[in-house]
């Protein structure tokens, strides 16, 4: 297959879908992303979250909730930001290396960030680049990286993107963040279904988060790069409450598992073959992905195809009220 490493494709893009196939955004069922379709119920947000600059107490509460939810090692620090993407863009600043290994195909913002910073990415002439980025579980195929392989191949800097790991907490590598130069990234928007909130976290030892890897005052360096008030007041409030709600998280994992199995049953009955994914998105191989994509789009259902494989089709989960609509479109 021909992989176009320069093309940065993503899910979403309903404006484009509507322009091509008609309807308004409200007419569309977006299954092109891996965002939980049953989001965390929004709590009542105090007025001062909107009107005042975010304060330190709210940030302390959020970090404390994150530390407990992910069982973060005592030696590791947590830096929240306005989405995992904001943190991905800063990862090249944490090393003096000029080359990086990013096993793919995978989420393409990592490659974009390192290329923009002048790095050589996946250079075949370099056997063991000092920097590695591992998406765990991988997007789009759900492949996981085991603990021992991470430790055996650890180099100057290992970045583990766990944006889709909260539905499978036993697979998380947050425990490795007590090792020097191992960084874990977390996305809030996927599992909690609140992508528009823009909240993400980086977890690592303070030294691991140093600018160019050469400072012992690392957390302040990364915070300086992110700027003041990197997380909004509403995001601090909602994020803390959601991370403290373990009952919701467990019930959600159970529901996602059942819904992923249901989606597999619907798709395989129509000739698709499941080849991976997580309980938030499923990856199928079909005879012609573009034809499936277009057929569903004519029903105003948006799915994900990939420029590097014309047989891969990825679907997120429908919400409870949308299963009948998908079943009708597949009939």
Tens of pLDDT, residue by residue over 6-20, are 445 677 889 989 999
State whether 192 and 67 are in the same domain: yes
How many Cβ atoms sit within 10 Å of the Cβ of residue 64? 14
Asked whether residue 5 is assigned to any structural domain, the reply reads: no
Task: Indicate if 220 and 275 belong to the same structural domain.
Answer: no
213 and 260 together in one domain: no
Q: What percent of the chain has pLDDT over 70?
A: 95
Shared domain for 22 and 99, answered yes or no, is no
pLDDT in tens, 104-129: 999 999 999 999 999 999 999 998 89
Final residue of a structural domain among 198, 213, 243: 243
The answer to whether 178 touches 184, Cβ cutoff 8 Å, is: no
Q: What is the CATH number of the domain that holds 22?
A: 3.90.1150.10
**Whether residue 68 is found in the same domain as residue 112:** yes
In a domain, 229, yes or no: yes
Give yes or no: residues 134 and 98 share one domain: yes
Q: Residues near 62 by Cβ (< 8 Å), separated by ≥ 6?
A: 80, 231, 236, 239, 240, 243
Q: What is the pLDDT of residue 214?
A: 65
Asked if the structure places residue 1 within a domain, the reply is no
Tell me, yes or no, whether 7 lies in a domain.
no
Averaged pLDDT score across all residues of the chain: 93
Q: Which domain holds residue 260?
A: 14-39+246-330
Per-residue pLDDT averaged across 298-316, rounded?
97
Decide if 180 is inside a domain: yes
What is the domain-level CATH number for residue 159?
A: 3.40.640.10
CA gap 256, 71 in Å, rounded = 22
Question: What integer is the mean pLDDT of 198-215?
Answer: 87
Same domain, 35 and 91: no
Q: Compute the distance between CA of residue 53 and CA of residue 37 in angstroms, rounded to an integer.
A: 31
Say if residue 144 is in the same domain as residue 178.
Answer: yes
Whether the predicted pLDDT of 278 surpasses 60 = yes
Is residue 9 assigned to a domain? Answer: no
Lowest mean pLDDT, pick from 88-102, 202-216, 244-258, 301-315? 202-216
Mean pLDDT is lowest, of 188-192, 215-219, 233-237, for 215-219
Domain count, the chain: 2
Q: How far is CA 288 from CA 89, 272, 292, in A?
A: 34, 10, 7
| pLDDT classification of 310: cutoffs 50, 70, 90 | very high
Answering whether pTM is above 0.75, one says: yes
């Amino acid at each position: 297959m021909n992989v176009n490493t320069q093309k940065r494709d993503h899910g979403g893009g309903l404006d484009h879908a509507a322009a091509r196939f008609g309807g308004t955004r409200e007419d569309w069922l977006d299954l092109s992303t891996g965002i939980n379709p049953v989001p965390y119920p929004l709590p009542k947000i105090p007025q001062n979250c909107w009107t005042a600059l975010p304060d330190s107490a709210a940030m302390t509460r959020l970090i404390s909730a994150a530390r407990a939810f992910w069982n973060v090692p005592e030696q590791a620090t947590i830096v929240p930001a306005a989405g995992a993407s904001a943190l991905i863009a800063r990862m090249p600043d944490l090393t003096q290396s000029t080359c990086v290994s990013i096993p793919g195909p995978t989420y393409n913002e990592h490659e974009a960030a390192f290329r923009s910073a002048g790095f050589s990415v996946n250079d075949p002439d370099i056997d063991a680049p000092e920097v590695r980025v591992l998406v765990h579980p991988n997007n789009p195929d759900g492949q996981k990286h085991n603990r021992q392989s991470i430790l055996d191949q650890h180099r100057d800097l290992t970045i583990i993107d766990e944006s889709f790991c909260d539905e499978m907490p036993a697979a998380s590598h947050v425990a490795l963040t007590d090792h020097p130069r191992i960084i874990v990234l977390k996305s809030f928007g996927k599992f909690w279904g609140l992508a528009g909130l823009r909240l993400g976290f980086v977890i690592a030892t303070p030294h691991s988060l140093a600018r160019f890897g050469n400072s012992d005052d690392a957390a302040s360096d990364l915070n300086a790069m992110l700027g003041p008030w990197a997380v909004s007041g509403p995001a601090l409030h909602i994020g803390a409450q959601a991370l403290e709600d373990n009952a919701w998280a467990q019930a959600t994992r159970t529901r996602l598992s059942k819904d992923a199995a249901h989606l597999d049953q619907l798709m395989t009955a129509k000739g698709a073959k499941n080849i991976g994914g997580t309980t938030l998105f499923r990856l199928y191989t079909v005879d012609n992905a573009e034809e499936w994509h277009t057929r569903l789009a004519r029903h105003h259902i948006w799915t994900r195809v990939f420029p590097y494989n014309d047989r891969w089709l990825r679907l997120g989960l429908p919400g409870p009220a949308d299963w009948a609509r998908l079943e009708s479109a597949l009939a």
